[in-house]
Structure 1
């Protein structure tokens, strides 16, 4: 029998435990030796490295559409801390270093989030959309990802209005998990986030002409069943092209995305049976 946590039989301690966890989370970053990016420039850097436009509203969530509009509001709130952010050589981007307290003046609205294994409205729900968008963009740059966490369980179907493959997955939870990437190049990069009502146009710009163009793709989604649970697997890879000549420099296998699916699939979805061992 597994040992029970104190908060399981003393649930009133949960808020205190959460505050303690978050305090330790930021204290660790304070002393980890990283130099975190914080400067938001008035002007935009001259050269475009990558840009994309993503839809914010997922009509296939299966929940009240108002939560999607609340998510869009929350994303606009947190983006104010990141808009036109400069990431100098040697600096590290941390989602939570920037997002901490972002809703002080303009509060977050209830959005969908996972709590105790169930999708429920939570304060500030939907911020994982931003971490996933940022991760997708970083894959199109020479920036180095140093912390990224996948969702173990996917509770909502993919947004049909998103450009990203379903396997682009980067969850964040204050006090527990962050998205961090470092600028190991000799040139500054800048993050741009321009919002429309139901979409965001995102860019990475840089101080010098890009050396490479990056093409990121996902393999066909594979659904499988093991011990009664459904899993979704996708291979994410990228190809680097010389910016001037367009010649292929190299191809890279980035990672394998594999998560348990906790939403109903279409009846005609092909599901492979896995070995139970």
Structure 2
């Protein structure tokens, strides 16, 4: 159904690269729990239930975790990259996302970004989860793994489906409210008939608004009413 890969080591703002290298260790452990999993008709996939609590006892190390928009070391840090990968692939399938939270902050400037901003996932065991359900009549399988440079994944289906999907962003803009900056966009999905290549449907998946934790440069900024975007606490 969909194959994707994301770069393992990427400089993000002023974060220290040792956290990125440790993240690779954490991703390998998390991938072992997910790789090969089958999602049968009517079943729901839960990231937290399958991967579990990322603890030192299980071999997880300190990687990058986001807390209040700041990158800080934390045991198991970085496994949300796996949730991001899964979410992106699920959006390109007939599987139904039932639970997903994104970060309320935009912590880093776009540096080598491949996917649209706003399609990531926030994972916090055991109350912020990523879940999706199989509402179709066939079984799907997840394959994920850590390569030399990339986190790699694919979703397999028992048979070909009648539709494919294109996911993209619209309305990308930066807003200034008082002394703070916000980022906004919309995530849309087009459904395409595999046989003809024609678009047969379009839907708005998510409208994103997040506090920006860096100074936007090289982009147009729109001033907005401070009452619409109150200062972050």
Fold-level match, TM-score > 0.5?
A: yes
Structure-1 residue corresponding to 2:224 = 274
Structure 1 residue aligned with 2:199, among 232, 235, 248?
Answer: 248
Structure-1 residue corresponding to 2:82 = 130
1:102 offset after TM fit, Å?
5.8
CA distance in 2, matches of 1:122, 1:240: 39
Secondary structure in structure 2 of the residue aligned to 1:81: helix
Contact 1:71–1:124, Cα closer than 8 Å, also in 2: yes
Structure-2 residue corresponding to 1:187 = 138
CA distance in 1, matches of 2:40, 2:206: 27
CA distance in 1, matches of 2:69, 2:13: 16
1:245 offset after TM fit, Å?
2.1
Change in 2 beyond 3 A, CA 1:273/1:192: same
Secondary structure in structure 2 of the residue aligned to 1:97: helix
Q: How does 1:109-188 map to 2 (within 5 A)?
A: 109-115=61-67, 118-160=70-112, 162-188=113-139
1:191 offset after TM fit, Å?
0.7
Question: Structure 1: where are the runs of 5+ without partners?
Answer: 1-48
Contact 2:193–2:200, Cα closer than 8 Å, also in 1: yes
Larger Rg: 1
Contact 2:102–2:120, Cα closer than 8 Å, also in 1: yes
After superposing on structure 2, the runs of 4+ consecutive aligned residues of structure 1 that deviate more than 3 Å are 101-106, 115-118
CA distance in 2, matches of 1:113, 1:102: 12
Contact 1:92–1:181, Cα closer than 8 Å, also in 2: yes
CA distances 1:144-192 after superposition (whole Å, capped 9, x unpaired): 11111121112233451x5311121221101221001000000001111
Which range moves more in the overlay, 250-259 or 83-92? Answer: 250-259
Number of residue pairs matched by the alignment = 227
CA distance in 2, matches of 1:116, 1:133: 22
Change in 2 beyond 3 A, CA 1:158/1:178: farther
CA distances 1:27-46 after superposition (whole Å, capped 9, x unpaired): xxxxxxxxxxxxxxxxxxxx
Contact 2:28–2:145, Cα closer than 8 Å, also in 1: no
CA distance in 1, matches of 2:6, 2:160: 25
1:274 offset after TM fit, Å?
0.7
1:106 offset after TM fit, Å?
5.0
Structure 1 residue aligned with 2:60, among 104, 108, 121?
Answer: 108
